[in-house]
Structure 1
Amino acid sequence: MKKMTLTTKIFIGLISGIIFGLILYPMREVPFVADYIIGFFLKLGGSVFINAIKMLVVPLVFISLTVGSSAMGDIKKLGRIGVKTLGFYLFTTAVAIIIALTFANIIDPGAGLSSDSIEKTTKTIKASKPFVDVLIDIVPSNPIASMAKGNMLQIIFFALLTGMGLTVLGDRVSKVKDLFDQANDLVLEMLNLIMKVAPFGVFCLITKTFSSLGYTAMMPLLKYMLTVVGALFIHGLFTYQGLLVAVVKMNPLTFFKKFLPAISVAFSTSSSGATIPVTLETVQEEFGVSKSISSFTIPLGATVNMDGTAIMQGVAVVFIAAVYGVDLTMGDYVAVILTATLASIGTAGVPGVGLIMLSMVLAQVGLPIEGIALIMGVDRILDMTRTAVNITGDAVCTLIVAKTEGEELDLSSEKEVEVA
């Protein structure tokens, strides 16, 4: 028998948690069930998993962003190509989060759930700030204090500045760059270790939720999933393909026909990084993009272009805010857009990292991180879809950059067959 994938295990944990939670729901007030099963075992398993995710937020954000931004020294070497690529990725990420926030506010997937039944926790909702203060606060006066307090926008700014400093110094700080690269590998391995116990954590979190809420939790979760998928569909079909048609003059059907193998790999692995080889081969062999351009845009996209993750974060923020009865202000929405967009730079393209980034975004707008418990179980399902959207954006960006650089692309639906 083939070894089950982590996605399969998490899905089993999700389904088992729903079933077991519904079984416990009628017995939720029985002392043994309330005190030992729900109040001890389920709470212990779920809380430890959530705390493990919280533990990695600051080191992952700072180290990965420093590594990612230091690698962007290639932008100077490639000149126009670097500016176009980075501009495309940041622009589409901002568009993605705006689409997500719009969809989530219209559909309101969190309606019907109340935090009173989920977790008794102290809310730490921050007072709304004027937009000018939000911009001023991006620059930290004490970066160490920012890390201790978990002020993510300030951490992002300091990480980007550190990365740019490493780029300017070049070989003089090669050992420091190596240290950051090794630290990045270490943090990602720690994330992988934590994700190995994710099925158990998901089981505990979902069981505890459904044992408290019963069937009332099912419809909001379904609405949350459909909202994320709908926003991903709109972004992938209209934003990306609209830009592709406008600049490259390519038929979207032709694009998807040629790019389907890469999308399949991304969907099955839930990893932009793991899909880099097949994405590179596809844009070079099927579309005729030069190696000099694709070898820059595709790896950079796997690091910078996290539009699918940004969409999930936008919908999740609105969903969790509704559950906890928090009215988000325009300043909060701006903070979400800035944080999610900037956080996309250097975010590792590996399964599970989206939840770490979501913890960061929730902390930035003052929402309880415990709200992740509600969506943890279904996130791996959505992770596959949003990864497919991410690598689609990588390919579209590559084609647009190649076209604007004067390259001749293969826009036909079929490859020409050589005749002997």
Structure 2
Amino acid sequence: MGLRAVVYYMTTTLLAVILGIILVVTIKPGTKDQSKETSNRDEVSALATFLNLVRNLFPDNMVEMCFRKKVPKMMKNLATNETYSKVVTGEGTNMLGVVSVSIMIAACINHIGEKAEALLKLFEAINEVSIILVTAFIWYSPIGVLFLVMSEVIKQEDPRTAFSKLAFYCLTVLLGLGLHGFITLPLTYYAIIRKNPFKFIKGMLPAMLTALATASSLATLPVTMRNLEINNKVDPRVIAFVAPVGANINMDGTALYEAVAVIFIGQTVGKEMDFVKVLTIRLVMVLCWRCVAVVLALC
């Protein structure tokens, strides 16, 4: 059951990423009403990006990883006039390091068992407090986001062009989510189960509305589990395993949105990326650490 769940989650996430890349490359929202521009930004190789991700998975300091991260920076060798990659320490949270260290700590707690129960309760308490704080932040976040967007729009020389790009970007993401939610996933369901997927979706409608209102998979999880058991008659033993794992790692919408965002930003600054490079970066960033997390969790 675990293997099937992981394969399904990784497959749907991969399909979402590919769909997002196809749409953003086809529609090109970042190049709308934009004159030809040249970018003087330094080129960062795909190898340097991948190696940087590997380095971040194993942080040198557990405290430092919460505030600083190692990033590749392209340096110029004046003697040979060659560009090479140098890893430097920059500001920002090393999320990959946080995830990998958290997985290791969780595995150790699970291995030790009863002796580590106090530490487990501490983390559970921190999690509950964090949820309350995040909920409070969410209520005020629209105000902060409004002013952040306004400040960036004011900086634009041509706000009309900026709004045009953002509008096409939003339409691209919404189109991708619609195609993935109403075509890709139903076809996948029908191919595997050989039943009407929209009947299953109808049973999950309360959970979908809750997800739309809260924009949180974890907040929707109790409603999802109840709809699966009561409306769609799924075995509770299957729900208890598959639903919580899916709420944490099955981020199809996020994967699609991030795939579109990466290429959109490149188009906005006048830097076109080929399909192979974009696909490589997105697969590494979106799928790699989730695969590691799932494998370790199942082990």
- Normalised by the length of structure 2, the TM-score is 0.73
Q: In structure 1, what is the Cα distance between the partners aligned to 2:153 and 2:53?
A: 40
Per the alignment, residue 277 of structure 1 pairs with 222
Deviation at 1:288, TM superposition (A): 1.6
- Deviation of 1:134 after TM superposition, in Å, equals 6.2
Q: Give the residue type in structure 2 aligned to 1:167.
A: N
In structure 1, what is the Cα distance between the partners aligned to 2:47 and 2:61? 21
Counterpart residue identity of residue 98, structure 1:
I
Query: Which residue pairs with 1:85 in the alignment?
Result: 5
* Number of the residue aligned with 1:8: none
Offset at 1:273? Answer: 2.4
Is contact 1:100-1:228 (8 Å) kept? Answer: yes
Deviations 1:334-365 (A, max 9, x none): 23323223566899xxxxxxxxxxxxxxxxxx
Q: Report percent identity of matched pairs.
A: 26
Match of 1:142 among 60, 79, 82: 60
* Structure 1 contact 104–227 (Cα < 8 Å) conserved: yes
Q: What corresponds to 1:109 in structure 2?
A: 29
**What CA distance in whole angstroms lies between the structure 2 residues aligned with 1:338 and 1:315?**
15
1:245 to partner: Cα distance: 0.8
> For residues 82 and 168 of structure 1, do their structure 2 counterparts lie closer, same or farther at Cα, with a shift above 3 Å needed?
farther
Runs of 4+ in structure 1 displaced over 6 angstroms? 122-125
1:241-280 paired onto structure 2 within 5 Å: 241-280=186-225
* Structure-1 separation of matches of 2:245 and 2:116: 22
> Deviation at 1:228?
0.9
User: Residue in 1 aligned with 2:87?
Assistant: none
In the alignment, structure 1 residue 318 sits paired with structure 2 residue 252:
no
Report if the CA contact (8 A) 2:29-2:165 is conserved: yes
Task: Note the C-alpha offset of 1:224.
Answer: 1.0
Q: Does 1:340 align with 2:286?
A: yes
2:31 is paired with a residue of what secondary structure? Answer: coil
Change (3 A) 1:216 1:139: closer
State the AA in 1 paired with 2:141: A
Q: CA RMSD in A?
A: 3.2
1:231 aligns with 2:192: no
Among 146, 157, 162, the alignment partner of 1:217 is 162
Q: Structure 1 residues 146 and 275, CA, compared in 2 at 3 Å: closer, same or farther?
A: closer
Query: Unmatched 5+ residue regions in structure 1?
Result: 1-80, 115-121, 348-420
Secondary structure at 2:219 match in 1: coil
Contact 2:53–2:96 (8 Å) recurs in 1: no
For structure 2, which runs of at least 5 residues remain unmatched after alignment?
35-39, 70-92, 294-299
Counterpart Cα distance in 1 of 2:144 and 2:208: 29
Alignment equivalent of 1:302, drawn from 232, 241, 247:
247
- Shift of the alpha carbon at 1:292? 1.4
CA change 1:166–1:100 in 2 (3 A) is farther
The residue aligned with 1:194 is 137
Aligned pair 1:204/2:147, yes or no? yes
Cα deviations by residue, 1:351-398 (Å, 9 ceiling, x for unpaired): xxxxxxxxxxxxxxxxxxxxxxxxxxxxxxxxxxxxxxxxxxxxxxxx
Q: Which residue of 1 aligns with 2:100?
A: 157
Q: Pick the aligned partner of 2:231 from 283, 286, 289.
A: 286
1:171 aligns with 2:114: yes
CA deviations on 1:80-116 (whole Å, 9 max, x unpaired) are x2232233223322322222222222222111488xx
Q: Could you say which residue in structure 1 is the equivalent of 2:79?
A: none
SS of the residue corresponding to residue 250 of structure 1 reads coil
8 Å CA contact 1:143–1:155 kept in 2: the answer is no
Establish whether residue 182 from structure 1 lines up as the match of residue 111 from structure 2.
no
Are 1:240 and 2:185 counterparts?
yes
Q: Deviations over 1:296-324 (max 9, x none)?
A: 22222222222112211111122122223
Shift of 1:130: 6.2
Aligned partner of 1:68 in structure 2 is: none
The letter of the residue matching 2:224 is: T
What secondary structure is seen at the aligned counterpart in 2 of 1:268?
Answer: helix
The answer to whether the 8 Å contact 1:245/1:252 transfers is: yes
- Deviation per residue, 1:17-51 (Å, 9 max, x gap): xxxxxxxxxxxxxxxxxxxxxxxxxxxxxxxxxxx
User: Which stretch has the larger CA shift, 334-343 or 277-286?
Assistant: 334-343
Aligned partners of 1:305 and 1:345 also within 8 Å: no
Structure 2 CA distance for aligned equivalents of residues 225 and 132 of structure 1: 29
Give how far 1:331 is off.
4.7
Kept in 1, the 8 Å contact 2:186–2:198? The answer is no
Secondary structure of the 1:275 match is helix
Structure-2 residue corresponding to 1:97: 17
Distance 2:289 2:204 in 1: 27
